[in-house]
């Protein structure tokens, strides 16, 4: 494998490691934010529903209607209204949201758990019932999946652009090597010419040594010719 390919492979591996780390950090940060949002979403819904049921807790039809309206307007795994006196479930709504095209391995990788919240429904000065709300994480997982696809696309685009620029830079920096090869062939043909010194210190020392050798060989052959 040529030096150019080895250096280009090293650059690509570095880009893969750097972009993978950046992608995972961004994904974990988004996951933490969604965990807090799910918990807040469930608690806010439980508090709002408990306040709404305060005046209607003795009307089963109205309780069911209010629970259904809240449940249908958000992304919830379940909503329960439990009577505190008998511990019986007055109203319960439960659903399993559709994954929406999110692959199972991504759901398992994210591991976003459902978040719950609860609130107490009062009847005057007494506690009449308890509202339990569990937000389903599938909506957040769907947004994370779309965000991950977008971030991955941008990272791949930036990685491809960086690799292309790195290849151009490498080709430019290694150009003196081709000139040194040509200089060696010219010496074999008894053609003596020096090379301009490159900016890279390591290559500059090699070019300086070759130029000195060319000058000495040129002087040697001139003396022999005389």
Average pLDDT over residues 86-99: 78
Same domain? 144 vs 202: no
CATH number at residue 41: 3.30.110.200
Does 167 map to a domain?
no
Residues 6+ apart with CB under 8 A from 76: 42, 45, 70, 93, 95, 133, 134, 135, 136
Show the domain range for 96.
Answer: 3-161
**Final residue in a domain of this structure, among 117, 134, 161:** 161
Neighbour tally for 134: CB within 10 Å: 20
Same domain membership, residue 186 and residue 152: no
Q: Dihedral sign, CA of 38, 134, 144, 22?
A: positive
Q: What is the mean pLDDT of residues 1-18?
A: 74
The reply to whether 157 and 178 lie within a common domain is: no
What's the pLDDT score for residue 104? 78
Of 161, 195, 211, the domain-final residue? 161
Number of domains in the chain: 2
pLDDT for the residue numbered 3? 67
Model pLDDT, residue 128: 82
Residues above pLDDT 70, as percent of the chain: 96
Q: How many CB atoms lie within 10 A of CB 67?
A: 22
Q: Which of 96, 95, 111, 116 is nearest to 40 (CA)?
A: 116
The helix (run of H) or strand (run of E) holding residue 50 is: helix 3-53
Do 105 and 187 have their domain in common? no
Q: Does one domain contain both 151 and 41?
A: yes
pLDDT at 46 over 80: yes
The pLDDT tens digits for 158-183 are 878 877 887 788 777 777 777 777 77
- Which residue did the predictor score with more confidence, 56 or 129? 129
Of 130, 161, 192, the residue at which a domain comes to its end is: 161
Q: Are residues 214 and 147 in the same domain?
A: no
- Where residue 2 falls among pLDDT bands split at 50, 70, 90? low
Residues 110 and 220 in one domain: no
SS3 state of residue 118: strand
pLDDT tens-digit map of 130-140:
888 888 877 77
- What pLDDT, on a 0 to 100 scale, did the predictor assign at position 113? 75
The reported pTM is 0.58
């Amino acid at each position: 494998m040529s030096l150019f390919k080895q250096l280009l492979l090293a650059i690509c591996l570095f880009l893969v490691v750097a972009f993978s780390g950046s992608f995972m950090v961004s994904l974990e940060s988004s996951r933490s934010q969604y965990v807090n949002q799910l918990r807040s979403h469930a608690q806010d819904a439980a508090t709002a529903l408990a306040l709404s049921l305060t005046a209607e807790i003795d009307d089963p039809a109205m309780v069911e209607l209010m629970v259904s309206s809240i449940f249908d307007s958000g992304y919830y795994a379940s909503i329960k209204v439990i009577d505190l006196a008998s511990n019986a479930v007055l109203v319960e709504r439960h659903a399993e949201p559709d994954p929406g095209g999110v692959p199972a391995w991504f759901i398992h990788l994210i591991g976003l758990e459902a978040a719950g919240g609860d609130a107490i429904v009062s009847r005057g000065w007494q506690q009449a019932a308890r509202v339990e709300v569990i937000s389903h994480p599938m909506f957040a997982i769907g947004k994370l999946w779309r965000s991950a696809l977008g971030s991955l696309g941008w990272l791949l685009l930036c990685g491809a652009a960086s690799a292309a620029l790195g290849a151009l830079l490498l080709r430019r920096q290694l150009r003196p090597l081709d000139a040194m090869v040509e200089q060696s062939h010219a010496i074999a043909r008894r053609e003596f010419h020096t090379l301009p010194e490159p900016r890279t210190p390591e290559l500059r020392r090699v070019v300086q040594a070759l130029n000195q050798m060319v000058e000495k060989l040129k002087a040697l052959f001139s003396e022999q010719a005389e």
